[in-house]
Amino acid sequence: MNKCEYCGKETSNKRYCSVHCRAKGSNLGRKQSAEHIKKRALAVAEYRETGKKKKKSTILCEFCKKKTTNKRFCSRKCLYSFLRKRVKKSPQTLYHHFLCQFCEKRFFNKKNYLEHIANDHNDKKELLIGIELLHKCPYCGKEFISGQKLGGHVVRCKKNPYKVYYKKPKGHKHSEETKKKISDSLKRYLNDNPKKLEFLCSHHFRRASYPEKFFTKVIEKEFEDKNYIKDLPVGKYRIDFAWPNKMLAIEVDGEQHFTPEAQEHDRIRDAFLREKGWTLLRIRWINFYKETQKYILLAKKFIDKSIL
């Protein structure tokens, strides 16, 4: 016969006499001593006989001197207030606290302590002896609070000879011959299908330039005839500002229109518009910017009175 490890009764089993004792005994854990198990078993036996639970042993709280069943303190408030007093008297007794040597602030976390020194006492950190506060880059000497930030910096440090370069993938570039073929095929298509041009112009994303925005404000404020259409498609071209009822058009040209290739393209374009019956006025933006009032009067005469 064996004795039950939980209640002390004689049993034929190896450790426990019943399922109840086995469940309670296994919860105690293997680390608990045999004496603790015996005390527990005696307390259960006494409770079965008398029907009264044994009162827990009471201890005085080390801070407020109240009775408590805990080990040292009755509450967390007492624990933290006790620690504060202890830190002021002897800071070295509590190894898990970090006390600032300059302003006597205390931190429970090393990271917060390092952040405080890096932000508030960055000029005095050299006075600290025997404490590795910050993580230094071995190449440029820059300091970081955590090793994780240091690792991210070292990979991209400019002075690092083994720096990792992240190159963007180069896309495929067309040769000059293929570019010319594509443009010729598009021109042929637009000449054969002029009705498609209006759809392409309306669905093409194009931001208005600053000269065009400025000239629209001039038209709204100064011009009498405001029945104009902006970016009107005519054939395979578009007119900046067109008055279809008078067949008049104004083009505001930036400096990109004064290269040899662009000027040749504009000559062909102007000839095509004249064939269609349009009268065209071109204004260079630099001249318009320098002598604004002069060119506003010129454009007004061209549109309002149809006189050049």
Q: Give the residue among 120, 117, 95 at the shortest CA–CA distance from 108.
A: 95
14 & 74 share domain: no
35 & 68 share domain: no
Q: What is the pLDDT of residues 157-173, one digit of tens each?
A: 888 887 766 666 667 78
- The pLDDT of residue 308 is above 50: no
Provide the domain count of the chain: 3
Region for residue 199 given its phi and psi (left: phi exceeds 0; alpha: psi -120 to 50; beta: otherwise): alpha
The parent domain of residue 40 ranges over 2-50
Q: What is the pLDDT of residues 219-241, one digit of tens each?
A: 888 888 888 888 888 877 888 89
150 domain-assigned:
no
Q: Classify 126 as helix, strand or coil.
A: helix
23 domain-assigned:
yes
78 & 7 share domain: no
Q: What is the pLDDT of residues 270-292, one digit of tens each?
A: 999 999 899 999 999 889 888 88
Question: Rounded mean pLDDT of the chain?
Answer: 76
d(CA 37, CA 198): 94
d(CA 240, CA 304): 17
Q: Taking a C-beta distance cutoff of 8 angstroms, is the pair 118, 99 a contact?
A: no
Residue 93 has a pLDDT of 42
Q: Annotate 198-242 with DSSP letters as a single string.
A: HHHHHHS--PPPHHHHHHHHHHHHH-S----EEEEEETTEEEEEE
- The pLDDT of residue 31 is above 50: no
Q: Which residue has the higher pLDDT, 213 or 80?
A: 213
Question: Tell me, what CATH number does 276's domain have?
Answer: 3.40.960.10
* Cβ neighbours, 10 Å, residue 48: 9
Q: Which residue has the higher pLDDT, 148 or 13?
A: 148
Give per-residue burial for 77-86: e unless 16+ CB within 10 Å, then b: ebbeebbeee
42 & 85 share domain: no
213 domain-assigned:
yes
202 & 241 share domain: yes
Q: Taking a C-beta distance cutoff of 8 angstroms, is the pair 236, 190 a contact?
A: yes
32 & 62 share domain: no
36 & 64 share domain: no
15 domain-assigned:
yes
233 domain-assigned:
yes
43 domain-assigned:
yes
